[in-house]
Amino acid sequence: MSYIVFDLEWNQSSTGTDAVEHLPFEIIEIGAVKCNSRMEQIGQFHELIKPQVYQEMHRVTSQLLGLDMKELESCGTFREVMERFLTWCRSNGEVAVEDPTAQKEPAGKVAVGSACNQDRISACDQDKIIFCTWGTQDLTELQRNMKYYGMEPLAGGPIPFFDVQKLFSIAYEDRKTRRALEFAVDFLHIDKDIPFHRAYSDAYYTAKVLARCSAPKILENISYDVYTPPVKREHEVKVQFDTYVKYISRQFADREEAFRDKEVVSSKCYLCHRNLRKKIKWFTNNGKHYYCVAYCEQHGYLKGKIRVRKTDDDMTYIVKTTKLITEKEAEAIAQRKEHGKEVRRRHRAAAREAKRAQEQRNKEV
């Protein structure tokens, strides 16, 4: 097993008004560290990338990275650099710090599949890799850039990976708080021997933090990148963690089709696997997050939460989590549902009143 800890830097529209559809962030730098099964750093990768979409550097990006467009003009294109990066991911860990001004022959494609395409990384073979990032955005944006340039996808469905930011919170805090990378480095008293806010340095520090969060119990908390959701029911993700269970559905044409699916709307106790009747049926106050409460005679109240997601191709998929909660938490969800009903009632009443007032004005005219 190899761990590819990587970080990206990207540019975007300098005005915010001319963003390219399906490519809001154009990657201009890839930095990575390869670790072995003992979390020892055994290789490194770094390349700058010549922009092909946004020809003006965003002011904040320039200030943060200390880069300008002239420094990137002689670099490889995204596709060239990405192919070298994938080759390096599969290599034996040799140093691969590239000189962006040197002439290079593009390498052949290497298909790096999902880390294991299984619910648990323990199912992976020793020659597999698993990606690791600080936060959840980098792996998504990497795949979005690959798709924009017509490259083969990393996987045909969700990719299991380690969100080191989350692992740090699980290992040292409350599981919910999300800290900046530098905070974690300071908290763990890791030497700050290179500057932050460049792709390689942030990957380097993320690998250092990962090594401190690598207890087997912590590494059970795998994350899933869902840039490419499952296509078929048999590829849907169902995984149980210590305190909750996660389900990632296949793609549906729209929200209505998704909510007609029994698996999507079901409530099941993940400890005894019984189908449960709902105390509070699915409801939403914002159209994006749906909640329900069910009750298990053996284990108590369970909260279901559904997040409705869209793909770049305008398909819909569902991410559902189920976890045990207290009776007090169940009561709070019931109050939230009633509050949403009251808000909608007031809005409907205000709309009716506005309509009557407009009709009266029209009569007077």
Residue 262: is it exposed, middle or buried by C-beta count within 10 angstroms (0-12/13-18/19+)?
exposed
Name the strands in the sheet holding 237-240, side by side, starting at the edge strand that comes first in the sequence. 237-240, 245-248, 316-325, 300-310, 289-296, 278-284
- pLDDT above 90: percentage of residues in the chain: 73
Q: Is the dihedral of CA 5, 11, 13, 19 positive or negative?
A: negative
H or E segment to which residue 327 belongs: helix 327-364
Q: Token pair of 331, please?
A: 């009561």
76-101 b/e with 16+ CB inside 10 Å = b?
bebbbbbbbbbbbbeeeeeebebebe
Give 331's contacts (C-beta < 8 A, 6+ positions apart). Answer: none
Asked if pLDDT for residue 226 goes beyond 80, the answer is yes
Q: Are 49 and 148 in contact (CB under 8 A)?
A: no
User: Domain map of the chain by residue range?
Assistant: 2-223, 229-341
- Please give the model's pTM, rounded to 2 decimal places: 0.83
What Å distances lie between residue 101 and 61, 79, 85, 181, CA to CA?
21, 16, 17, 30
Residue ranges of E strands in 166-299: 223-225, 237-240, 245-248, 278-284, 289-296
Half-sphere exposure of residue 149: CA atoms within 13 angstroms, side-chain side: 18
Q: Taking residues 316-344, report their average pLDDT.
A: 96
User: Which tens digits make up the pLDDT trace of 104-123?
Assistant: 333 333 333 333 333 333 33
Asked if 92 and 44 count as a contact pair (C-beta separation under 8 A), the reply is: no
Note the pLDDT of residue 78: 96
- State the average pLDDT over residues 80-93: 89
Exposed/middle/buried for residue 163 (C-beta within 10 Å: 0-12, 13-18, 19+): buried
| pLDDT of res. 20 | 87
The fold for domain 2-223 equals Nucleotidyltransferase; domain 5 (3.30.420)
- State pLDDT tens for residues 14-70: 776 678 888 899 999 999 999 999 999 999 999 999 999 988 777 677 666 777 778
Query: Residue 149's pLDDT band (boundaries 50, 70, 90)?
Result: very high
